[in-house]
Amino acid sequence: MILANLPDPEQLASRIRRGERAAVASGLNLLDNKRGEARTCSARLLASLSGDRWLNEGHLIGVTGPPGAGKSSLVSAMIRAWRLSGRTVGVLAVDPSSRPELGGGALLGDRIRIKNTSHDEGLFIRSLANRNQMGGVATEVWPMSWLMLACFDIVVIETVGVGQTEIEIAEIADTVCYVAQPASGDAIQYLKSGIIEIPDIFAVNKSDLGAAARKTAAEIGRSAPRQDRREEWDYPVCLVSATMNTGIKELQEHIDRHRGFLASSALLGKLRVRHHSAWVIRLLKEEFGTFGLELVGGLTGIGERLSGNRSGQFQEYDLMRQHILSRFKLSD
């Protein structure tokens, strides 16, 4: 049963597909609502939205990196260029709840927020403050990214890299771009940790600072995964300056090239199916626990159901939820 104060999922889905901003906003609010009846409505909304774009269309881009590296500034610069080329863009900016500078430190005043000041219909920005990033990305971020992908050509997810975040953003995004800044301890630490294996593209921002930026880029270049270690991708390292607007075009060319690489080697569909399974399991477990997962076949059974149903992935999630609810004899 859908309660009166919740939207009709099919109607909302068709408005979102048409790119109606108010519908996108209310869809995102719905996905953010964890009450049982809202989750039912959310699952139907996602099922109505899935379809043609599922395996081969759109581009989900994760932008991550240490605090203050210039992620938001860089995303803003990229948005300008994407919009000039006529591509529509949705952005999810995820703020962790436990940022040191939110305690009142000096950095807070220095932060740039990505803003849409021009009332551009082809751009939608949603900031997700205070998410539980205790070592991870909140479960709602994944369906929210897909809702946005239903109506925008490009969806960017900005997260602050704190180790686990990079791993989880790589389970959402098709392409992960790591933003480093010159000569930062973060970059060096990062090189030493296994996390260097995760990004597809490295952008050393603040190249206007000169030699330090070039040095950091060279260090990352030496440590980035080699071509022979993974697939056929070359893990480019580029020097950019968000404030001077330099290197942006090259960075975007690498981002497009990675999208092309995934599509041409048939990796995109496989990657998305794998991501889908991981997040559906996470969503079901969050709502129903391990017992709920067992009711729909456990990890193996769920994986098989999802990989066997390549076009209606969210429909399968909706069906599994309904099955668990009926077994629990819960109604909402």
Ligand X SMILES: Nc1nc2c(ncn2[C@@H]2O[C@H](COP(=O)(O)OP(=O)(O)OP(=O)(O)O)[C@@H](O)[C@H]2O)c(=O)[nH]1
Report the C-alpha gap between 201 and 238 in whole angstroms: 8
- Which neighbouring-strand residues pair with 237? 202
Choose from Mg ion, ligand X, none: what does 295 bind? Cβ within 5-8 Å by kind.
none
Task: Provide the minimum distance between the beta carbon of 242 and ligand X in the complex, in angstroms, as a whole number.
Answer: 4
CA dihedral 139, 69, 207, 110 (to 10 degrees): 130
Give the interface with ligand X as residue ranges (CB under 6 A).
Answer: 67-73, 110-112, 160, 205-206, 208-209, 241-243
Choose from Mg ion, ligand X, none: what does 63 bind? Cβ within 5-8 Å by kind.
none
Task: Provide the minimum distance between the beta carbon of 93 and Mg ion in the complex, in angstroms, as a whole number.
Answer: 6
**The residue type at 19:** G
Task: Provide the minimum distance between the beta carbon of 165 and ligand X in the complex, in angstroms, as a whole number.
Answer: 11
Residues of span 60-99 touching Mg ion by CB under 5 A: 71-72
Choose from ligand X, Mg ion, none: what does 241 bind? Cβ within 5-8 Å by kind.
ligand X
Nearer to ligand X, 21 or 111 (CB): 111
Phi-psi region of 183 (alpha: psi -120 to 50; beta: other; left: phi over 0): left
Nearest partner of 92 among 42, 51, 129, 56, judged by Cα: 129
Nearer to ligand X, 107 or 299 (CB): 107
Choose from Mg ion, ligand X, none: what does 69 bind? Cβ within 5-8 Å by kind.
ligand X
Nearer to ligand X, 98 or 243 (CB): 243
Nearer to Mg ion, 71 or 321 (CB): 71
Chain residue at closest Cβ approach to Mg ion: 72
Label the pairing between strands 154-159 and 123-131. Answer: unpaired
Nearest partner of 82 among 258, 248, 207, judged by Cα: 248
CA dihedral 21, 119, 151, 13 (to 10 degrees): 10
Nearer to Mg ion, 126 or 321 (CB): 126
Choose from ligand X, Mg ion, none: what does 208 bind? Cβ within 5-8 Å by kind.
ligand X
The binding site for Mg ion (CB under 5 A) comprises 71-72
